[in-house]
Amino acid sequence: MRIVGGAWRGKRLEGPGDTPIRPTTDRVREALFNILNHADWAPPLEGARVLDLFAGTGALGLEALSRGAKRACFVENNFQSRAIIRRNIETCGAIGTTKMLSRSVTRLEDIPVMTGGPFNLVFVDPPYRQGLIEPALTSIHEGGWLAENALVITERDPREDAPRTPEFTSHDERRYGDILIAFLSYEG
């Protein structure tokens, strides 16, 4: 795994090893960020405040920082994954621009001040086929984690149903093999 674009392009990231996480592949991350760079409905990456939920290795949030995001907050409740994220943050030299929280994404409650939010770019990449996207979206909405007109990007198995949350409107969906990426605008 590596950073595929921006200031840290080519920097190697620690992968999941024996942990039960499934990081977004380099190819899919590159396609996702190309869409973000060219879609008129996407917020600019430059200066973005990024929330990486179910962060795993931290690759999505670190990729955003590499491409000009201002801050990234990683939320992960698996201790092995948090250790990997910490090492990847150190590898990229991103300690001053990141925050990591150990919480259940589906029960975030009110946003803590120290996170650097509210966030205008959010990645939601939960374990597949566990029905976690909808509760995660509800959690970040109800807890005040989202800036006005935030863009939320979800990743799921194409066989999973799309979340039904009235605060979010779909812009686009893209399929990459057994991965479905959806781009949602926050209307809250």
* SS3 assignment for 126-159: CCCCCCCHHHHHHHHHHCCCEEEEEEEEEEECCC
Tally of structural domains, the chain: 1
> According to the model, what pLDDT value does residue 96 have?
92
User: In this structure, is residue 21 part of a structural domain?
Assistant: no
User: In this structure, is residue 23 part of a structural domain?
Assistant: no
Dist. CA 93–CA 88, nearest whole Å = 9
User: In this structure, is residue 8 part of a structural domain?
Assistant: no
User: In this structure, is residue 77 part of a structural domain?
Assistant: yes
CATH of the domain at 65: 3.40.50.150
User: In this structure, is residue 9 part of a structural domain?
Assistant: no
- Average model confidence (pLDDT) across the chain: 92
User: In this structure, is residue 7 part of a structural domain?
Assistant: no
User: In this structure, is residue 22 part of a structural domain?
Assistant: no
Domain range spanning residue 177? Answer: 28-186
User: In this structure, is residue 119 part of a structural domain?
Assistant: yes
Per-residue pLDDT tens digits for 19-32: 667 778 889 999 99
- The number of beta carbons lying within 10 Å of the beta carbon of residue 9 is 12
Dist. CA 55–CA 89, nearest whole Å = 12
Contact call for residues 63 and 3 (beta carbons, < 8 A): yes
Band of the pLDDT at 116, cuts 50, 70, 90?
confident
Contact call for residues 136 and 53 (beta carbons, < 8 A): yes
